[in-house]
Amino acid sequence: MSPIVGIDLGTTNSLIGVMEAGFPILLADSAGERLTPSVVHFPVQGGPIVGRTAARMRVLEPESTIYSVKRFIGRRAGEESGDVGYKLSGQPGAPVRIRVRDGELAPEEISALVLAKLRADAERALECEVTRAVITVPAYFNDAQRNATKLAGELAGFTVERIVNEPTAAALAYGLDKLRDKSRVAVFDLGGGTFDISILELNQGLFQVLSTNGNTRLGGDDIDTAIANFLSGKIAVATLCETSGTHHLAAEFSEASPAIAARLREAAVDAKHQLSTAEFTTIELPFLAGDRSFSHRFTREELEKLARPVVERTRAHCLRALSDAKLRPDELDEIILVGGVTRMPLVRRYVAEIFGRVPNISQNPDEAVALGATIQAGILSGAVQNVILLDITPLSLGIETFGGLMNVIIPRNSTIPIKAGEMFTNALAGQRAMKISVLQGEREMAKDNWRLGEFELEFEPAPKSQARVGVQFEIDANGILHVLARDTKTGIEKKVEMSSAVDVSDEAVEKMLEDSLEHAFEDVNERIFTEAKLKSSEMLPAVRNALNLVGAQLDESERALIVERVTEVEQAVADGAAQPLKRANAALDEATQRLATLLIERAMQTKG
């Protein structure tokens, strides 16, 4: 039987591993390298080149060398600005496509090429066919991104046995035998393009994710951009200071010169890596433009000044994850570092400052996720026992109900896999179908959340509030949402997989959590108002109807009071103020007590 491999499909680098004799082993390619750059180059002639050779082509042929494609996987055009050297295409709202020479490819097709290389390397190393894999994704990946990753695996010839969150995999790599029971761990993962922070608890060999937070557009790439911009500024100054010569280096370093930009970026990355151990380095760029060269002595202090704003952006996410887990930093037992950027001394100091303890650096931060994926693969194939992984939902999921309200079915931070359901009814008499609008987010009103998709379920017309439609949400072990709606009377049902309809930008992901806090007060008010308005819209016609039928049996003063209360409700609806409307509804309720009794008596008499 084919072994199950574990794969860390990274923004910058990817790795593959397999369990051997009970140990997770990362496999090397034919050059003996375990880290494969997630880069694909498309030469003028011949098939695509993947990995280290491709990464080198990034400088020479940036437009046909695709890197950081993970930023675009499962995303829509317009969601990603993409400061990349190659071209993107696709109509706004349609899936992102990548222009390569005369053609176009989907991001998952490019990732598939990286995965196919890993698969070939593994087959060569293991001398057997490899067709089953566990692949990791950032905890913040939405359904569309998870599905696209799974598709990439399938295109590469794998059966994808499990999609696992990266921080959870990393905790496995660190945690199997090193941690005590009940330990609480923060996994701080700062990679090339994504940042994840997760808080986990180890419970009798069972990892439970207490909370997770992050940003799919924050990472080492941002530091590289800051350094490259800094260098280009230095070049501009150097050129301005030139008094002779006809070359204008600064002008040549521009968007129009991707080759120079790519060289600057490569120099930036190199310098960043060196400064993790050295105090200074010299950046040399010979013949950058024509016969002009550039040289700069770059210090760790300079780097830290440029990198600090990027690193500081992790703080809010960490604090949010802690508060979601209802923990103080001193209640954590361990801070684990994951992702190449956490090799930077600045990052380690910053993490220590946020959490008030020195992070654990016992594992290689570049390999922890791949090792964890491999261990997870081992668990699935039976090679490792007694560890079960539980992941959680990063944002609440629900459907839109009457009045445009968000009705949460699976709350944020629920452990997955999970199944939850609720019964809904028809708002109108004779209604023939119910629209199921699936939402994700933390806001009270449907319009402020993301619409993952919608579909209609038809049912037999029924009097108001008589139809019974069960809606069930199921998030599978891969974090993919399946929605089922069933008319309980006829058994007619519809099942939809929310796979490719997430139509939101990454900035919006981050904003969602901030907004839900910032607008908490207005949101609650809006919900109260909407609910109160729904109540008024039911009460007002009922009261008018009752006045017609039995109003004559009331005293003049009683009738006048009801009319006055009705006017107050109408006025409060028009004013749009939540609390006054709630109060007006309650006052009308009270004023119509006797009216309601009379109505019931009349109904009894009619019956009798």
Q: How many whole angstroms separate alpha carbon 329 and alpha carbon 199?
A: 11
Report the nearest approach of ligand AMP to the CB of residue 39 (Å).
12
Q: How many whole angstroms separate alpha carbon 379 and alpha carbon 169?
A: 12
Binding segment (CB under 6 A) for ligand AMP, from list 217-225, 476-484, 553-561, 584-592:
217-225
Report the nearest approach of ligand AMP to the CB of residue 117 (Å).
16
Between 313 and 451, whose beta carbon lies closer to ligand AMP?
313
Report the nearest approach of ligand AMP to the CB of residue 10 (Å).
4
Per annotation, catalytic residue among 29, 61, 70, 117 = 70
What letter does residue 460 receive in the DSSP assignment?
-
Q: 369, 381, 367, 371: which is closest to 161 by C-alpha?
A: 381
Between 10 and 398, whose beta carbon lies closer to ligand AMP?
10
Between 12 and 516, whose beta carbon lies closer to ligand AMP?
12
Neighbours of 547 (CB within 10 A): 18
- Only one residue has tokens 């207005």, namely 522
- 70 catalytic per annotation: yes
Report the nearest approach of ligand AMP to the CB of residue 422 (Å).
40
Asked if residues 13 and 36 have their Cβ atoms less than 8 Å apart, the reply is yes
Enumerate residues 572-591 that contact ligand AMP by CB under 6 A: none
Q: 133, 209, 137, 140: which is closest to 171 by C-alpha?
A: 209
Between 341 and 469, whose beta carbon lies closer to ligand AMP?
341
Neighbours of 180 (CB within 10 A): 8
Report the nearest approach of ligand AMP to the CB of residue 77 (Å).
24
Binding segment (CB under 6 A) for ligand AMP, from list 213-221, 241-249, 473-481, 572-580:
213-221
- Only one residue has tokens 């080759």, namely 259
Please tell me the number of Cα atoms within 13 Å of 421 on its side-chain side. Answer: 14
Q: How many whole angstroms separate alpha carbon 350 and alpha carbon 571?
A: 55
Q: How many whole angstroms separate alpha carbon 237 and alpha carbon 249?
A: 10
Between 270 and 538, whose beta carbon lies closer to ligand AMP?
270
Q: Give the contact letters, 49-78, x = binds to ligand AMP (CB under 6 A), - = no.
A: ------------------------------
For position 272 contacting ligand AMP by CB under 6 A, the verdict is yes
Query: What own/partner pairs with CB < 8 Å and gap ≥ 24 does 592-601 have?
Result: 592/543, 592/546, 592/562, 592/565, 594/554, 594/558, 595/543, 595/546, 595/547, 595/550, 595/551, 595/554, 595/558, 595/562, 596/546, 598/546, 598/550, 598/553, 598/554, 599/546, 599/549, 599/550
Report the nearest approach of ligand AMP to the CB of residue 52 (Å).
14
Q: Which of 2, 131, 257, 276 binds ligand AMP (CB under 6 A)?
A: 276
Report the nearest approach of ligand AMP to the CB of residue 276 (Å).
3
- 448 catalytic per annotation: no
Per annotation, catalytic residue among 80, 143, 161, 189 = 189
Binding segment (CB under 6 A) for ligand AMP, from list 8-16, 371-379, 411-419, 523-531:
8-16
Q: 44, 217, 224: which is closest to 141 by C-alpha?
A: 217
Q: State the DSSP string of 58-82.
A: HHH-GGGEE--GGGTTT-BTTT---
Report the nearest approach of ligand AMP to the CB of residue 203 (Å).
28
For position 273 contacting ligand AMP by CB under 6 A, the verdict is yes
For position 151 contacting ligand AMP by CB under 6 A, the verdict is no
- 224 catalytic per annotation: no
- Only one residue has tokens 């594992």, namely 363
Between 135 and 344, whose beta carbon lies closer to ligand AMP?
344
Q: How many whole angstroms separate alpha carbon 7 and alpha carbon 122?
A: 11
Question: What stretch of H or E contains 549?
Answer: helix 520-550
Total residues interacting with ligand AMP, rule: CB under 6 A = 19
Report the nearest approach of ligand AMP to the CB of residue 174 (Å).
15
Between 167 and 378, whose beta carbon lies closer to ligand AMP?
167
What letter does residue 18 receive in the DSSP assignment?
E
How large is the C-alpha radius of gyration of the chain?
30
- 177 catalytic per annotation: no
- Taking each helix axis as running N to C, give the angle between helix 52-60 and helix 258-274, from 0 to 180 degrees, rounded to the nearest 10: 130
Asked if residues 585 and 577 have their Cβ atoms less than 8 Å apart, the reply is no
Q: Which two tokens stand for residue 330?
A: 């001193």
Residue nearest ligand AMP (C-beta atom) = 220
Neighbours of 434 (CB within 10 A): 21
Q: Which of 26, 130, 152, 269 binds ligand AMP (CB under 6 A)?
A: 269
Between 249 and 369, whose beta carbon lies closer to ligand AMP?
369
Q: Which of 48, 107, 175, 220 binds ligand AMP (CB under 6 A)?
A: 220
Question: What stretch of H or E contains 308?
Answer: helix 300-312
Between 8 and 324, whose beta carbon lies closer to ligand AMP?
8
Binding segment (CB under 6 A) for ligand AMP, from list 249-257, 268-276, 503-511, 547-555:
268-276
Report the nearest approach of ligand AMP to the CB of residue 338 (Å).
7
Q: Give the contact letters, 344-373, x = binds to ligand AMP (CB under 6 A), - = no.
A: x---------------------x-------
3-state DSSP: the chain helix, strand, coil percent, rounded to 5?
A: 45, 25, 30
Question: Letter for the amino acid at 25?
Answer: I
Between 148 and 370, whose beta carbon lies closer to ligand AMP?
370
Q: Which two tokens stand for residue 210?
A: 């207490």
* Triad 454, 460, 462: Cα angle to 5°: 105
Asked if residues 486 and 492 have their Cβ atoms less than 8 Å apart, the reply is yes
Count of all residues that appear for the chain in the document: 608
Enumerate residues 290-349 that contact ligand AMP by CB under 6 A: 339-341, 343-344
For position 138 contacting ligand AMP by CB under 6 A, the verdict is no
Between 370 and 595, whose beta carbon lies closer to ligand AMP?
370
Report the nearest approach of ligand AMP to the CB of residue 506 (Å).
16
For position 192 contacting ligand AMP by CB under 6 A, the verdict is yes
Q: Which two tokens stand for residue 305?
A: 């000044």
Q: Which of 4, 9, 12, 321 binds ligand AMP (CB under 6 A)?
A: 12
CB within 8 Å of 490: residues ≥ 6 apart? 459, 460
- Only one residue has tokens 């997430």, namely 502
Q: How many whole angstroms separate alpha carbon 6 and alpha carbon 119?
A: 11
Q: Which are the catalytic amino acids?
A: 8, 70, 166, 189
Q: Which residues bind ligand AMP (CB under 6 A)?
A: 10-13, 191-192, 219-221, 269, 272-273, 276, 339-341, 343-344, 366
